[in-house]
Protein backbone atom coordinates (compact mmCIF):
# COMPACT_ATOMS: atom_id res chain seq x y z
CA UNK A 1 0.00 0.00 0.00
CA UNK A 2 1.31 3.45 -0.91
CA UNK A 3 0.76 6.76 0.86
CA UNK A 4 0.67 8.59 -2.49
CA UNK A 5 -2.89 9.50 -3.52
CA UNK A 6 -2.06 9.85 -7.18
CA UNK A 7 -4.71 12.50 -7.79
CA UNK A 8 -5.00 16.21 -7.05
CA UNK A 9 -7.59 18.56 -5.62
CA UNK A 10 -7.70 20.26 -9.00
CA UNK A 11 -8.76 17.01 -10.65
CA UNK A 12 -11.48 16.59 -8.02
CA UNK A 13 -12.68 20.14 -8.63
CA UNK A 14 -12.83 19.58 -12.41
CA UNK A 15 -14.85 16.39 -11.85
CA UNK A 16 -17.31 18.09 -9.45
CA UNK A 17 -17.95 21.09 -11.71
CA UNK A 18 -18.32 18.86 -14.79
CA UNK A 19 -20.77 16.60 -12.96
CA UNK A 20 -22.84 19.51 -11.66
CA UNK A 21 -23.05 21.25 -15.05
CA UNK A 22 -23.35 18.02 -17.05
CA UNK A 23 -21.08 19.46 -19.70
CA UNK A 24 -17.28 19.48 -20.04
CA UNK A 25 -17.27 22.58 -22.23
CA UNK A 26 -19.35 24.61 -19.77
CA UNK A 27 -17.18 23.37 -16.90
CA UNK A 28 -14.05 24.56 -18.71
CA UNK A 29 -15.61 27.97 -19.25
CA UNK A 30 -16.51 28.31 -15.57
CA UNK A 31 -13.06 27.11 -14.50
CA UNK A 32 -11.33 29.49 -16.95
CA UNK A 33 -9.42 26.73 -18.70
CA UNK A 34 -9.67 24.66 -21.86
CA UNK A 35 -12.08 21.81 -22.55
CA UNK A 36 -9.20 19.43 -23.23
CA UNK A 37 -7.58 20.30 -19.88
CA UNK A 38 -10.77 19.48 -17.97
CA UNK A 39 -11.41 16.31 -19.95
CA UNK A 40 -7.83 15.05 -19.46
CA UNK A 41 -7.91 15.85 -15.72
CA UNK A 42 -11.13 13.89 -15.19
CA UNK A 43 -9.80 10.91 -17.15
CA UNK A 44 -6.60 10.90 -15.07
CA UNK A 45 -8.72 10.99 -11.92
CA UNK A 46 -10.70 8.01 -13.13
CA UNK A 47 -7.50 6.07 -13.84
CA UNK A 48 -6.07 6.88 -10.39
CA UNK A 49 -9.31 5.87 -8.64
CA UNK A 50 -9.85 2.82 -10.80
CA UNK A 51 -13.51 3.63 -11.54
CA UNK A 52 -15.42 5.44 -14.27
CA UNK A 53 -17.03 8.58 -12.91
CA UNK A 54 -18.70 10.12 -15.96
CA UNK A 55 -20.53 8.80 -18.97
CA UNK A 56 -19.68 10.77 -22.10
CA UNK A 57 -22.62 11.38 -24.44
CA UNK A 58 -21.77 12.63 -27.91
CA UNK A 59 -23.13 16.14 -28.30
CA UNK A 60 -25.21 15.67 -25.10
CA UNK A 61 -22.64 16.35 -22.39
CA UNK A 62 -21.86 13.99 -19.50
CA UNK A 63 -23.74 12.20 -16.72
CA UNK A 64 -22.68 10.47 -13.54
CA UNK A 65 -22.11 6.76 -13.33
CA UNK A 66 -23.32 5.00 -10.14
CA UNK A 67 -19.74 5.12 -8.85
CA UNK A 68 -19.46 8.77 -9.81
CA UNK A 69 -22.73 9.58 -8.02
CA UNK A 70 -21.43 7.87 -4.87
CA UNK A 71 -18.06 9.62 -4.95
CA UNK A 72 -19.44 13.06 -5.83
CA UNK A 73 -20.60 13.63 -2.26
CA UNK A 74 -17.19 12.62 -0.87
CA UNK A 75 -15.46 14.87 -3.38
CA UNK A 76 -17.62 17.79 -2.21
CA UNK A 77 -16.66 17.12 1.40
CA UNK A 78 -12.96 16.88 0.59
CA UNK A 79 -12.97 20.13 -1.40
CA UNK A 80 -14.87 21.89 1.40
CA UNK A 81 -12.27 20.68 3.91
CA UNK A 82 -9.48 21.85 1.61
CA UNK A 83 -11.06 25.31 1.38
CA UNK A 84 -11.40 25.40 5.16
CA UNK A 85 -7.75 24.42 5.56
CA UNK A 86 -6.71 27.16 3.15
CA UNK A 87 -8.81 29.73 5.01
CA UNK A 88 -7.28 28.70 8.33
CA UNK A 89 -3.75 28.88 6.90
CA UNK A 90 -4.46 32.34 5.49
CA UNK A 91 -5.71 33.39 8.90
CA UNK A 92 -2.58 32.05 10.60
CA UNK A 93 -0.38 33.87 8.11
CA UNK A 94 -2.06 37.25 8.54
CA UNK A 95 -3.82 37.21 11.91
CA UNK A 96 -2.13 38.69 14.97
CA UNK A 97 -4.46 36.93 17.41
CA UNK A 98 -3.00 34.17 19.55
CA UNK A 99 0.36 33.09 20.92
CA UNK A 100 3.80 33.95 19.58
CA UNK A 101 6.89 32.32 21.07
CA UNK A 102 10.08 34.39 20.75
CA UNK A 103 13.53 33.47 22.02
CA UNK A 104 15.79 36.19 23.43
CA UNK A 105 19.52 35.73 23.93
CA UNK A 106 19.32 36.48 27.64
CA UNK A 107 21.86 39.38 27.83
CA UNK A 108 19.75 41.27 25.27
CA UNK A 109 16.38 40.82 27.00
CA UNK A 110 16.82 43.45 29.77
CA UNK A 111 17.46 46.17 27.18
CA UNK A 112 14.49 45.44 24.91
CA UNK A 113 11.92 43.14 26.48
CA UNK A 114 10.21 45.61 28.90
CA UNK A 115 9.36 48.19 26.25
CA UNK A 116 8.60 45.59 23.59
CA UNK A 117 6.14 43.85 25.90
CA UNK A 118 4.49 47.15 26.85
CA UNK A 119 4.06 48.26 23.23
CA UNK A 120 2.79 44.82 22.20
CA UNK A 121 0.17 45.16 24.94
CA UNK A 122 -0.82 48.65 23.79
CA UNK A 123 -0.80 48.06 20.03
CA UNK A 124 -1.71 44.38 19.74
CA UNK A 125 -3.61 43.37 22.84
CA UNK A 126 -4.81 40.16 21.17
CA UNK A 127 -1.22 38.98 20.65
CA UNK A 128 0.01 36.69 23.42
CA UNK A 129 3.79 37.10 23.53
CA UNK A 130 5.67 34.24 25.17
CA UNK A 131 9.33 35.16 25.71
CA UNK A 132 12.05 32.57 26.34
CA UNK A 133 15.24 34.10 27.74
CA UNK A 134 17.94 31.50 27.17
CA UNK A 135 21.54 30.98 26.15
CA UNK A 136 22.59 31.33 22.53
CA UNK A 137 22.67 27.54 22.14
CA UNK A 138 19.29 27.00 23.77
CA UNK A 139 17.33 29.54 21.72
CA UNK A 140 18.78 27.98 18.56
CA UNK A 141 17.57 24.59 19.83
CA UNK A 142 14.14 26.13 20.47
CA UNK A 143 14.10 27.55 16.92
CA UNK A 144 15.09 24.23 15.33
CA UNK A 145 12.50 22.35 17.37
CA UNK A 146 9.71 24.78 16.47
CA UNK A 147 9.29 25.97 20.06
CA UNK A 148 10.06 29.54 18.93
CA UNK A 149 9.01 31.18 15.69
CA UNK A 150 11.88 33.65 15.84
CA UNK A 151 14.83 34.58 18.03
CA UNK A 152 16.33 37.96 18.96
CA UNK A 153 20.10 37.68 18.98
CA UNK A 154 23.36 38.75 17.33
CA UNK A 155 24.36 37.72 13.82
CA UNK A 156 27.38 35.73 15.00
CA UNK A 157 25.13 33.61 17.24
CA UNK A 158 22.50 32.82 14.60
CA UNK A 159 24.47 31.15 11.81
CA UNK A 160 21.97 28.31 11.37
CA UNK A 161 19.04 30.68 10.89
CA UNK A 162 17.97 33.17 8.24
CA UNK A 163 19.11 36.34 9.99
CA UNK A 164 17.40 39.71 9.53
CA UNK A 165 19.72 42.48 10.82
CA UNK A 166 18.03 45.42 12.50
CA UNK A 167 20.89 47.55 13.81
CA UNK A 168 24.68 47.62 13.52
CA UNK A 169 26.51 47.73 16.84
CA UNK A 170 30.21 48.35 17.51
CA UNK A 171 31.84 46.45 20.35
CA UNK A 172 32.97 48.46 23.36
CA UNK A 173 34.75 47.65 26.61
CA UNK A 174 33.44 47.79 30.13
CA UNK A 175 36.10 48.74 32.69
CA UNK A 176 36.25 49.80 36.33
CA UNK A 177 35.60 53.48 36.90
CA UNK A 178 39.16 54.02 38.14
CA UNK A 179 40.82 51.84 35.50
CA UNK A 180 44.15 53.42 34.45
CA UNK A 181 44.96 54.49 30.90
CA UNK A 182 41.42 55.22 29.71
CA UNK A 183 40.96 58.80 30.81
CA UNK A 184 39.90 59.86 27.31
CA UNK A 185 37.29 57.08 27.04
CA UNK A 186 39.26 55.19 24.38
CA UNK A 187 41.50 52.14 24.60
CA UNK A 188 43.05 49.55 22.32
CA UNK A 189 42.29 45.86 22.61
CA UNK A 190 46.01 45.27 23.07
CA UNK A 191 45.96 47.37 26.24
CA UNK A 192 42.85 45.63 27.54
CA UNK A 193 44.16 42.06 27.18
CA UNK A 194 46.85 42.73 29.77
CA UNK A 195 44.10 41.76 32.23
CA UNK A 196 41.51 38.93 32.17
CA UNK A 197 38.38 39.03 30.06
CA UNK A 198 35.26 38.74 32.20
CA UNK A 199 32.50 37.22 30.10
CA UNK A 200 29.24 35.33 30.23
CA UNK A 201 29.68 31.58 30.15
CA UNK A 202 28.61 31.14 26.54
CA UNK A 203 30.89 29.12 24.21
CA UNK A 204 29.64 30.83 21.00
CA UNK A 205 30.14 34.24 22.58
CA UNK A 206 33.62 33.30 23.75
CA UNK A 207 34.54 32.05 20.26
CA UNK A 208 33.40 35.40 18.87
CA UNK A 209 35.62 37.31 21.31
CA UNK A 210 38.54 35.05 20.41
CA UNK A 211 38.01 35.99 16.76
CA UNK A 212 38.02 39.70 17.68
CA UNK A 213 41.42 39.21 19.31
CA UNK A 214 42.73 37.40 16.25
CA UNK A 215 41.44 40.19 13.99
CA UNK A 216 43.15 42.76 16.20
CA UNK A 217 46.40 40.76 16.25
CA UNK A 218 46.47 40.34 20.02
CA UNK A 219 46.66 37.28 22.24
CA UNK A 220 43.50 36.03 23.90
CA UNK A 221 43.68 36.94 27.61
CA UNK A 222 42.76 34.66 30.51
CA UNK A 223 39.00 34.30 30.87
CA UNK A 224 36.77 34.66 33.93
CA UNK A 225 33.33 33.16 33.23
CA UNK A 226 30.09 34.07 34.96
CA UNK A 227 26.42 33.32 34.37
CA UNK A 228 24.89 36.77 34.93
CA UNK A 229 25.54 40.23 33.58
CA UNK A 230 25.37 41.80 37.03
CA UNK A 231 28.09 39.47 38.38
CA UNK A 232 30.16 40.28 35.31
CA UNK A 233 29.74 44.02 35.98
CA UNK A 234 30.59 43.51 39.64
CA UNK A 235 33.81 41.66 38.82
CA UNK A 236 34.82 44.38 36.37
CA UNK A 237 34.04 47.13 38.89
CA UNK A 238 36.15 45.31 41.49
CA UNK A 239 39.14 45.36 39.15
CA UNK A 240 39.25 41.68 38.17
CA UNK A 241 39.29 42.40 34.44
CA UNK A 242 37.39 43.97 31.56
CA UNK A 243 34.31 42.95 29.59
CA UNK A 244 33.37 43.28 25.92
CA UNK A 245 29.81 44.30 25.18
CA UNK A 246 27.53 45.46 22.39
CA UNK A 247 24.92 47.15 24.57
CA UNK A 248 25.50 50.11 26.86
CA UNK A 249 23.66 49.95 30.17
CA UNK A 250 22.55 53.23 31.76
CA UNK A 251 23.27 52.29 35.40
CA UNK A 252 26.98 52.49 36.19
CA UNK A 253 26.72 51.42 39.84
CA UNK A 254 26.94 47.73 40.68
CA UNK A 255 25.09 45.94 43.46
CA UNK A 256 28.00 46.42 45.88
CA UNK A 257 28.22 50.18 45.24
CA UNK A 258 31.23 50.18 42.88
CA UNK A 259 31.09 51.77 39.45
CA UNK A 260 31.91 50.78 35.87
CA UNK A 261 32.15 52.75 32.66
CA UNK A 262 31.99 51.97 28.96
CA UNK A 263 34.93 52.98 26.74
CA UNK A 264 35.39 52.87 22.99
CA UNK A 265 37.86 50.46 21.41
CA UNK A 266 40.16 52.18 18.90
CA UNK A 267 40.98 49.04 16.88
CA UNK A 268 39.30 48.70 13.50
CA UNK A 269 37.05 45.81 14.53
CA UNK A 270 34.14 44.70 12.39
CA UNK A 271 30.78 45.60 13.95
CA UNK A 272 28.11 43.03 14.65
CA UNK A 273 24.39 43.16 14.07
CA UNK A 274 21.45 42.76 16.37
CA UNK A 275 18.40 41.29 14.71
CA UNK A 276 16.05 38.35 14.47
CA UNK A 277 16.56 34.85 13.14
CA UNK A 278 13.99 32.48 11.67
CA UNK A 279 14.36 28.96 10.35
CA UNK A 280 15.35 28.60 6.69
CA UNK A 281 12.33 28.02 4.48
CA UNK A 282 9.82 29.38 7.00
CA UNK A 283 7.65 32.45 6.50
CA UNK A 284 6.76 34.93 9.23
CA UNK A 285 3.22 34.75 10.56
CA UNK A 286 1.15 37.86 11.07
CA UNK A 287 1.97 37.69 14.77
CA UNK A 288 5.71 37.56 14.04
CA UNK A 289 5.43 40.54 11.69
CA UNK A 290 3.58 42.53 14.36
CA UNK A 291 6.31 41.70 16.89
CA UNK A 292 9.02 42.68 14.42
CA UNK A 293 7.33 46.02 13.77
CA UNK A 294 7.30 46.78 17.50
CA UNK A 295 10.90 45.64 17.87
CA UNK A 296 11.98 48.00 15.09
CA UNK A 297 10.25 50.86 16.92
CA UNK A 298 12.17 50.39 20.15
CA UNK A 299 15.52 48.91 19.21
CA UNK A 300 17.14 52.27 18.50
CA UNK A 301 16.17 53.60 21.91
CA UNK A 302 17.62 50.59 23.68
CA UNK A 303 20.94 50.73 21.85
CA UNK A 304 21.52 54.48 21.51
CA UNK A 305 21.74 54.54 17.72
CA UNK A 306 20.26 56.85 15.12
CA UNK A 307 16.60 55.85 14.83
CA UNK A 308 14.41 55.51 11.77
CA UNK A 309 11.04 55.69 13.56
CA UNK A 310 7.50 56.31 12.49
CA UNK A 311 5.78 59.67 13.06
CA UNK A 312 5.15 59.19 16.78
CA UNK A 313 7.78 56.62 17.67
CA UNK A 314 10.99 58.53 18.40
CA UNK A 315 13.13 56.88 21.07
CA UNK A 316 12.52 59.81 23.42
CA UNK A 317 8.75 59.58 23.08
CA UNK A 318 8.80 55.82 23.44
CA UNK A 319 10.84 55.87 26.62
CA UNK A 320 8.77 58.79 27.93
CA UNK A 321 5.58 56.82 27.37
CA UNK A 322 7.19 53.80 29.01
CA UNK A 323 8.05 55.84 32.12
CA UNK A 324 4.58 57.43 32.30
CA UNK A 325 2.85 54.08 31.86
CA UNK A 326 4.67 52.72 34.88
Smallest CA-to-CA distance from 9 within 67, 60, 93, 81 is with 81
CB 55 within 8 A of CB 65: yes
Helix, strand, coil distribution of the chain in percent, nearest 5 = 45, 20, 35
Give the span between the Cα atoms of 272 and 192, in whole angstroms: 20
- Neighbouring C-beta atoms of residue 285, cutoff 10 Å: 19
pLDDT tens digits, one per residue of 75-130: 888 888 877 776 666 555 556 778 899 999 999 998 899 999 998 888 888 888 99
Residue 230 scores a pLDDT above 80: yes
Give the span between the Cα atoms of 37 and 24, in whole angstroms: 10
CB 161 within 8 A of CB 143: yes
pLDDT tens digits, one per residue of 136-180: 999 999 998 889 999 999 999 998 899 999 999 999 999 999 888
To 10 degrees, what angle do helices 315-325 and 109-123 make?
80
Question: Longest Cα pair distance anywhere in the chain, in angstroms?
Answer: 99
CB 18 within 8 A of CB 71: no
Amino acid sequence: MTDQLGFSLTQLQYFVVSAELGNISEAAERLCTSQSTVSSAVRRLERHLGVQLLLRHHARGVSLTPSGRHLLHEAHLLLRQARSLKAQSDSLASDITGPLDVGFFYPIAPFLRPLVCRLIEKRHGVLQLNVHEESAEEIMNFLRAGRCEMIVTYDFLAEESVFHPLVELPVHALVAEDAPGVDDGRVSLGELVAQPLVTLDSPPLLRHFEKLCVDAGVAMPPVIRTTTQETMRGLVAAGFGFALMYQRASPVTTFDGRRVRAVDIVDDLAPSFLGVGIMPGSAMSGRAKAFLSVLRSVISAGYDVTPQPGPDDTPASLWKRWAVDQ
